[in-house]
Amino acid sequence: MGKKKENGRTAKVIINTLAQLLPEIVNTISGFVLPRFILLTFGSALTGLVSSINQFLTYLRKMEAGLSTASAVNLYKPLAKKDEKKVREVVAASKHFYRWVGILFSIGACILAALYPFIVDVNIQGYSWYKVSTLVLILAGSAAFNYFFSSAYQALLIADQRYYIVSINMTVYGALTIPLILLTLKTGNMLIVQLVNLLLAVAQAVTLVFYTKWKYKNMVKPTKEFDKKSMNMRWDVFLNELGFLVETNAPSLIITFLIGLSAVSVYTVYNMVFVALQSVIRISREALRPAFGQAWAAGEKDVVKKCYAEFECLIFEATVVLYTIAGIMLLPFVRIYTEGVTDANYILPLFGVFFCMSGAIRQLQIPASIMVGAAGKFKEVRSCVLVSALSCVVIGALGGIFFGMSGVMFGMVCGTCIKTAYTTYFINKKVLERNLGTTISRVLRGGAVVLISVAPFVLGIKLVPTNFIEWILQAVGVSVWVLGVSIINLLLFDRRDILGLCKRLINVVR
């Protein structure tokens, strides 16, 4: 029975991981298609107005930070124990807090709608102040609707390893958005375009609500009793997420204020490469946390330790391979991408090295950060998160003053090292009670793989593609080389965990 349950969780991880690729693909297509046609229809000024309003609303949405994760963490145990009464209480508490977030967000959106027309030029294509205010309210509508009606149900689906339902729902409505928005553009009215977008978002949320009420009819029944204490960890989760925001956003802010806007443009080009890499690995994190959370809540510590060892092996090796390939191919890519741009120097080898290191170290903390969420240990790592964020800002600022952009990224390397080292130590020694030697060995061997893989390109082989086709062909060759070195490392030192992963996949297929 235990093995069957374990295989079931693995199957759901695979399904959730694959399902999360679907909205990513749709969003990528949408991101290429819609902005261009919207820009051609409405021009830069009105398109920029919508982007600016959305940016303000993004800051308002930060008030929900930590709530979804806290809800999911507190649902792992009652779901594992099939305690419907406790699930109802946690869901009721989640709905209660989301309702308050919805109220506060709506008040903030109304204030923004009232003030925004007076802080921007509203004479855009005949847009009077009330049209701008209406546009703000329409753009805020989808988030407000979700807070009041669907966000708590989404947290339940995520906690129960049914993120694939959320992903399929997002994919269907995302795919519908593209043709409907293109048709609506013929009206030439931005308010109508955004209203259609809002209606699609509301329909998406309503579909999620109906499914959840059908699937969990006994668990989401209205109840006057709710576990208010279950949301206490929300602020610890919030601090954890705030630390991550500092890590990811501090470089661009420090570079903006200390170096200049041209340097920000350079940072943006480099960051574009690594955002794509982070999204690939992030998908596995979102799929795995509920699986670890339910197993931990069920008291299956030995199962968690075994799965953690296999997952750590996979993430460490994937990070080494992806970031080594990215590091080797980064400067050739930047050289082609910025060809003809002469107002800034984009070829910065040391900056690129620190960028790679910072991103790779951040990915290495994924196994530990998943266990922090699965075991609800946000409070225990809170101090480390704050020290890490402060280090990123202080060392990054000092580095920027004395050494320019490379100094800023060195600060990010220092900050992420602190967080990765401590969370990895804490999870291995204090939570899983696992020998830290295996993890240290993997890090050292990963470093050796990087050095061996990079050596030929530092000592002799020069990569100078003149166009993106040549770059792709050379990237394939580099990928085969790096992957070969990595496979040798795995076969020599990590056979047990690799075989464990293979057996797990075979059992699921059977």
CB contact at 8 A, 228 and 96: yes
Residues 192 and 328 in one domain: no
Residues 260 and 390 in one domain: yes
Decide if 226 is inside a domain: no
Residues 298 and 403 in one domain: yes
d(CA 286, CA 159): 10
> What does the chain come to in residues?
510
Decide if 229 is inside a domain: no
Decide if 225 is inside a domain: no
Burial level of 484, CB count in 10 A (0-12/13-18/19+)? Answer: exposed
d(CA 308, CA 369): 11
Residues 151 and 252 in one domain: no
Residues 197 and 271 in one domain: no
State the SS3 of 33-86: HHHHHHHHHHHHHHHHHHHHHHHHHHHHHHHHCCHHHHHHHHHHHHHHCCCHHH
- pTM for the model: 0.82
Rounded to 5 degrees, what angle do the CA atoms 314, 316, 322 make?
95
Residues 327 and 373 in one domain: yes
| Last residue of one domain, picked from the residues 170, 187, 219 | 219
d(CA 324, CA 136): 44
Contacts by 472-477, CB closer than 8 A, 24 or more apart: 474/329, 474/332, 475/325, 475/329
Decide if 227 is inside a domain: no
CB contact at 8 A, 406 and 348: yes
Residues 338 and 364 in one domain: yes
CB neighbours of 178 closer than 8 A, spacing ≥ 6?
A: 26, 29, 30, 33, 34
Per-residue pLDDT tens digits for 39-79: 888 887 777 778 778 878 888 888 887 788 888 888 998 99
Structural domains in the chain (count):
2
CB neighbours of 109 closer than 8 A, spacing ≥ 6?
A: 57, 60, 136, 137, 140, 144
Distances (CA, A) of 358 to 354, 355, 386, 409: 6, 5, 17, 7
Residues 144 and 291 in one domain: no
Report pLDDT for 500. 85
Largest CA distance in the chain: 71
d(CA 464, CA 448): 25
Decide if 383 is inside a domain: yes
Distances (CA, A) of 271 to 274, 275, 354, 429: 5, 6, 12, 34
Rounded to 5 degrees, what angle do the CA atoms 206, 211, 215 make?
150
d(CA 16, CA 160): 11
Structure tokens at 502: 């293979």
Residues 303 and 371 in one domain: yes
Decide if 64 is inside a domain: yes
The backbone torsions φ and ψ at residue 127, rounded to the nearest 5 degrees and listed phi first, read -80, 105
| Last residue of one domain, picked from the residues 192, 219, 246 | 219
d(CA 149, CA 144): 9
Report pLDDT for 1. 44
Decide if 228 is inside a domain: no
- Domain extent at residue 241: 234-509
Decide if 93 is inside a domain: yes
Residues 251 and 200 in one domain: no
Residues 214 and 263 in one domain: no
d(CA 204, CA 452): 49
| Last residue of one domain, picked from the residues 150, 184, 219 | 219
Residue ranges in the chain modelled with pLDDT below 50: 1
Number of H helices and number of E strands within the chain? 17, 0
Residues 464 and 441 in one domain: yes
